[in-house]
Amino acid sequence: MRELGQIRGFGPVRLEALAKKGILTAMDLVETLPVGYRDTTNPLSPAQMTEGTTSCFEGYVTGKPTLHRVGGRRWVSAAIADECGKIRCMWFNQPWMKDNLHDTQHVTLYGRAVRKKNGLFVINPSMEEPGAIIPVYAQIPGVGQKVLRDAIALLLDEYDEEETLPARILSMYGLMDRREALREAHFPTSMERLARAKERLAFEELFLFQAAVAGQAGERRPTQPLAIGDGWVDEFYSRMPFEPTGAQLRASKEIAGDLKGSRAMARMIQGDVGCGKTLIAFCALYLCARAGGQAALMAPTEILAAQHMQSAAELLAPMGIRCGLLTGKMTAAERRRAREAIACGAWQVVIGTHALISGDVEFANLCLAVTDEQHRFGVRQRTVLEGKGFAPHVMVMSATPIPRSLSLVLYGDLDISVIDELPPGRTPVTTRIVPEEKRQDMYAFIRAEAEKGRQTYVVCPLVGEDDTDAAFEELRSAKDVQKELKEVLAPLCVGLVHGRMNKLEKEDTLQRFYAGEIHVLVATTVIEVGVNVPNATVMVVEGAERFGLAQLHQLRGRVGRGAQQSWCFLMAQPNDRLRTLVKTGDGFVVAQKDLELRGAGEFFGTRQHGQPQMPALMLTGDGRLLGDARSAFLEIWKSEDMHAEREAIVRAARRRFDRESPLFGRN
């Protein structure tokens, strides 16, 4: 294939725009798959468009289109009809549509129907040629959809790369070859062929991902065993003011066994919100420090690191273990003193944020590296922390319950301890689905909780108006909700936090909420992890239908951390999917249901956090692929007569995953 710079029209400006999206080579562009498709092969009648439908429809323009102006906003409206009925369309910030449409004109349009106060509308529908399946790519500023389509079509004609999957696997699972799958994924000849292409590419990603992870697993290095006594775990828990659960004891003893081994531990502690993973981590830190090693615990936020430090002061310091904190917020003098204490070994346990992996931080004898909220760190970040010591033991924690079938694929490089018990005495969070007509009653409940001294989260899927195109205008943004709540709940203090704020603003707002100065915190999913506010008793999720069940369960876990009754209100019309959350508080049950409903792709990339990590997998919802890809991988990996195939797979896996990607470090 030719280079990107050799494609007509791809000058320095467009090449720079592509580079900003990580598209540096012709193969990168070919592997930039569509995020969706517009199927215009079977247009609907305008009368068949229903609320929430995204589809192609055709009809005649009835009457003259109208250009509206209200304040600084402009939009064009027109009615599209046929013999069966009609629907109204609105084009925001596209005044030229008034001249592009005329009475009795036959049009083929594609868009999403939404219900507003005065009826059903299609917002910003695109005009299409009928009879095609048109790829839609993620927006790249300065590079239009047609430019992308033409360039990819040209490169596919020149495609000459080697097949990535062994012929035996292609035959066994009835998969397309790679070139054919890429062409059908970009330019489908039918929906059936598109489905087969999606399956092939998703299968490949799962297969290669496992090869990349298996490479990580093979890199466990010999290490110096820690001299840990047989009764140390029991001694640690005997100093606690409460009994550990059986799962906590089991996991801690598994860790003790790993630390005594001659190969570096690589273990994930996976469990539901509130299952007591942090105490397991502190037991590991205690074992390492008591055995003469130095241990580090890395947390994703300043607040969580500070909370861990407070717990260390309460739990580890009385046992004679010297603990210290290192974060980016510290003054230069504080950082210098912290670095000195770490370097000379004065601190046996070091707790901190990303500051721990700064180049100027050196450990005296790092033997154990623990990362909290693993999915907030990439493998590279974890590896940098490991590099601060000589083959240290590694432990990661995740509060995202994942079905076992997916865990084997996602974390094949780690031993997994599943914490499947909750400590006794926790009050379950009561979950309710709240339709729009009950909103004012919910506001009254929030006010009543505030009068008791309690706090509330309100989570929105969007930051502000500029987050969305007009097709999603009906969604309530975080800024809109904060503005409304300031009026409705006055004089309560209503704060706002979202991912676009700079780190200091975000941390300051969260700190004020933690201190009780903010009564109601409006937020995006930035608060999904990393905040522990026992006084918060209410979680409201706006547009709950826009979130996956596993993510809603994570958000629900932000409340119910104290002794008082807590509530989670899902703002949506009731449906069977959301009723799963009403029925169960078991995160593993929720995760399994989410996997069944939405497929594996959602677990690899979160809609709320930028680009998906495995784009081909995001195109398919078929969870069956997990089992097939796992079986195929193990067959090749364990085969005695497929060395050449294994080497080719490793090369492909490195090219696909061993770069600066979200999976391996860019979060």
Q: What is the 3-state secondary structure (H, E, C) of 447-503?
A: HHHHHCCCEEEEECCCCCHHHCCHHHCCCCCHHHHHHHHHHHCCCCCEEEECCCCCH
Confidence band, pLDDT 50/70/90 cuts, at residue 601 = low
Residue-range domain boundaries for the chain: 1-39+145-161, 42-127, 232-419, 430-584
DSSP 518: -
Highest mean pLDDT among 143-157, 265-279, 555-569: 143-157
- Identity of the highest mean pLDDT range in 374-378, 474-478, 504-508: 504-508
Q: Nearest CA to 577 among 602, 598, 599, 608?
A: 598
232-419 belongs to which homologous superfamily?
P-loop containing nucleotide triphosphate hydrolases (3.40.50.300)
- Indicate the fold that domain 42-127 takes in CATH: OB fold (Dihydrolipoamide Acetyltransferase, E2P) (2.40.50)
Mean pLDDT check: name the lowest of 279-288, 335-344, 449-458, 494-503.
Answer: 494-503
Q: Looking at this protein, which amino acid is placed at residue 121?
A: F
Residue 181 vs residue 555, higher pLDDT: 181
Partnered with residue 269 across adjacent β-strands are 397, 417
- Mean pLDDT for 144-161 is 94
| 3-state SS assignment for residue 425 | coil
The token pair at 496 is 């706002």
Q: Tokens for 518?
A: 């903010």
Tell which residue, 296, 311, 315, 317, has the closest CA to residue 236. 315
Band of pLDDT at residue 215, cut at 50, 70 and 90: low
Q: What is the pLDDT averaged over residues 64-72?
A: 90
Residue 659: is its pLDDT beyond 60?
A: no
Q: What is the pLDDT of residues 27-59, one digit of tens each?
A: 999 999 998 889 999 999 999 999 888 899 999
Tokens 């468009």 correspond to: 49
Q: CB within 8 A of 484, min separation 6: which ones? A: none
Mean pLDDT in residue range 69-74: 86
Q: Classify 612 as helix, strand or coil.
A: coil
* Predicted local confidence at residue 104, as pLDDT: 95
If we measure between CA atoms, which residue out of 398, 416, 389 comes closest to residue 264?
389
Do the two domains 232-419 and 430-584 of this chain adopt the same fold? Answer: yes
The CA distance from 665 to 667, in Å, is 6
pLDDT at residue 473 greater than cutoff 70 = no
Pair 458, 540: CB distance under 8 Å: yes
430-584 CATH choice from 2.40.50.100, 3.40.50.300, 3.80.30.20, 3.30.413.10: 3.40.50.300
pLDDT at 143: 93
Helix ranges restricted to H, 140-190 = 145-157, 167-173, 178-186
